[in-house]
Amino acid sequence: MVISIKAALSQAELPNSDTPRLDAEVLLYNVLGVRRSYLYAWPEKILTTHQYEQFRALLARRAQGEPIAYLTGHQEFWSLNLQVNENTLIPRPETELLVELAIERLSPKAQVIDLGTGSGAIALAIAQECQQCSILATDYSPAALKIAQHNAQKLGFQQVKFLLSDWCAALKNIKATIIVSNPPYIETADPHLNQGDVRYEPRTALVAGKDGLTDIRQIIAQAQNHLIEKGWLLLEHGYNQAQAVQALFKQYNYEAIQTYQDLAGLPRVTLGRLESKLNRKSLFSDQSNK
């Protein structure tokens, strides 16, 4: 079949998408291995049979609701092009708030732990902004950790180390200036789990018990053993969980507790500072990556 870029796009049908034209363009320029501008510069360019078949196959999967990021195999976050797949969450713009707040509290040689790193988005964004920081990214999923390591290698961020760990379980005596996390925080019965992209994302990275706070409770309780004196813990959470998360921070004696809103005006990140009279030594063991 002989068909041009312009014709292929005009015939693309994605009735269930909020952005059908954009989705079709993203899929096509990924098939062609070009930039989006190429589609406008060369609208009469004829697709090969193989290219058109690939495009139609991707359109069919998108029509079923499969996320664009999984179809293309990558997602942009903090201007970084990250590989993603069904083993990782898709990095979202609201999570950039967590990165911004962490960066504001970084010293030049800060030591950072990213719990539940997934694709490595948060850890690698921080690494880009703080070249002298030591960063440890953890995840309990070997498959997710492999993706994060690939992204770090591709981007050349050698200061980021990786550790297989269920939250703080494998940290031993490792301590940090800042701990950040975007943990699961969706309630088990939340109807949004059956809508949109989240249908295809790993449930273990989304759902956290009946009230959505199971993992957040665990992190807040455990993190105090891995923060230096006056170290910060920053957590992303659901738009309706700020009050409950603040209460958990207070329960475990964090101070300077504050919640920040994302660009949509929704409470998205809560942070607290660990106050302690103990002299806690901060260290990153070379064996933490073994």
- Both structure tokens of 233: 């813990």
Kindly report, residue by residue over 151-207, the tens digit of the pLDDT.
999 999 999 999 999 999 999 999 999 999 999 988 888 887 888 778 888 888 888
Tell me how far apart the alpha carbons of residues 119 and 276 are, in angstroms, rounded to a whole number.
33
Find the CATH number of the domain harbouring 39: 1.10.8.10
**Do 47 and 173 belong together in one domain?**
no
The fraction of the chain above a pLDDT of 70, given in percent, is 94
> Whole-angstrom distance between the N-terminal and C-terminal Cα of the chain?
53
**Do 54 and 115 belong together in one domain?**
no
Is 243 within a domain?
A: yes
**Do 143 and 243 belong together in one domain?**
yes
Kindly report, residue by residue over 197-210, the tens digit of the pLDDT.
788 888 888 888 88
pLDDT at 54 over 90: yes
**Do 224 and 131 belong together in one domain?**
yes
Q: Is 237 in contact with 185 (CB distance < 8 Å)?
A: yes
Question: What is the pLDDT, as a whole number, of residue 285?
Answer: 47
Is 71 within a domain?
A: no
Question: What is the pLDDT, as a whole number, of residue 243?
Answer: 96
**Do 38 and 149 belong together in one domain?**
no
Rounded mean pLDDT of 117-137?
A: 95
Q: Is 163 in contact with 288 (CB distance < 8 Å)?
A: yes
Average pLDDT over the chain reads 91
Which residue from 184, 186, 180 is spatially nearest to 127, judged by alpha carbons?
180
**Do 30 and 173 belong together in one domain?**
no
**Do 14 and 130 belong together in one domain?**
no
Burial of 107 (0-12, 13-18, 19+ CB in 10 A): exposed
**Do 40 and 120 belong together in one domain?**
no
Tell me how far apart the alpha carbons of residues 103 and 33 are, in angstroms, rounded to a whole number.
34
**Do 53 and 86 belong together in one domain?**
no
Provide the pLDDT confidence category of residue 238 given band limits of 50, 70 and 90. Answer: very high
**Do 119 and 39 belong together in one domain?**
no
Rounded mean pLDDT of 75-103?
A: 95
Q: Is 143 in contact with 120 (CB distance < 8 Å)?
A: no
Tell me how far apart the alpha carbons of residues 14 and 8 are, in angstroms, rounded to a whole number.
13
Question: What is the pLDDT, as a whole number, of residue 51?
Answer: 96
**Domain boundary residue among 23, 42, 65?**
65
Kindly provide the b/e burial profile for residues 15-34, where b requires at least 16 CB atoms within 10 angstroms of the residue's own CB: eebeebeebbbbbbbbbbee
The residues pairing with 13 across neighbouring beta strands, listed in sequence order, are none
Is 74 within a domain?
A: no
**Do 98 and 153 belong together in one domain?**
yes
Provide the pLDDT confidence category of residue 220 given band limits of 50, 70 and 90. Answer: very high
* Number of domains forming the structure of the chain: 2
Could you tell me the residue range of the domain that residue 260 belongs to? 79-289
Find the CATH number of the domain harbouring 131: 3.40.50.150
